[in-house]
A and B are shown apart, each in its own frame.
Chain A
Amino acid sequence: QKEVEQDPGPLSVPEGAIVSLNCTYSNSAFQYFMWYRQYSRKGPELLMYTYSSGNKEDGRFTAQVDKSSKYISLFIRDSQPSDSATYLCAMIVPDSWGKLQFGAGTQVVVTP
């Protein structure tokens, strides 16, 4: 079983809808959680970065971390066709020197 589980999708939504993405994990030592967006033939681009449990909002993006359930989420409000990409969750154990553990990525398609 992988340490980080993420549904690969694809997830298709109409423009303007809320996109809901999530990851589950098994290692309770993870403390830092990130969401990256990756367009085709590009590198992962950092979207959100949170520490421990709680919510964080940045524009149309909201990240939630529930450590008790080992579950993290990313919500994209008012989705646009330009949001069509693969979204990867990533997490890290403190003092692990940048060894991010990534989910498989969820492909999101926002249709006009």
Chain B
Amino acid sequence: DSGVTQTPKHLITATGQRVTLRCSPRSGDLSVYWYQQSLDQGLQFLIQYYNGEERAKGNILERFSAQQFPDLHSELNLSSLELGDSALYFCASSETQGQVSPLHFGNGTRLTVT
């Protein structure tokens, strides 16, 4: 068990809808990362937060947004959903904001858009 908790485990929704994915990092970790995993693209970095502040952005669509709260949990909001957004969404956490600490991943949220 990595200590990173993601909810819900599964989410099925329709196109055009909006969903929120939640992540609780490991105790003591200040950095939270969101990744998307699909069959054709593999694991792709979306966004990173450190102690409440956005630090880095990857291939995140404008329809997607995230935030990290004072208690360090994070939420990823996906709106105007399209069929192509169906994927596994992983949250990871690390101790620091830099590259020195390795990332520890949760078990993901499987999103299915119908």
Contacts and interface: CB of A to CB of B under 8 A. Distances in A.
Contacts of B83: none
A102 to B, nearest CB: 4
Q: How large is the interface on B (under 10, 10 to 19, 20 to 34, 35 or more residues)?
A: 20 to 34
B42 A43 contact: no
Given A43-B108, A44-B90, A98 B31 contact: yes
Contacts of A103: 42
Given A43-B2, A43-B90, A88-B43, A98 B103 contact: yes
Contacts of A108: none
Q: Interface SS of chain A: helix, strand, loop or mixed?
A: loop
B42 A105 contact: yes
A42 B45 CA distance: 17
Interface in B69-114: 90, 92, 94, 97-99, 102-108, 110
Nearest to B91: A43
Given A98-B31, A105-B42, A42 B99 contact: no
B99 A94 contact: yes
Contacts of B98: 94-95, 97-98
Interface of B: 2, 4, 6, 31, 33, 42-43, 45, 48, 50, 55-56, 58, 90, 92, 94, 97-99, 102-108, 110
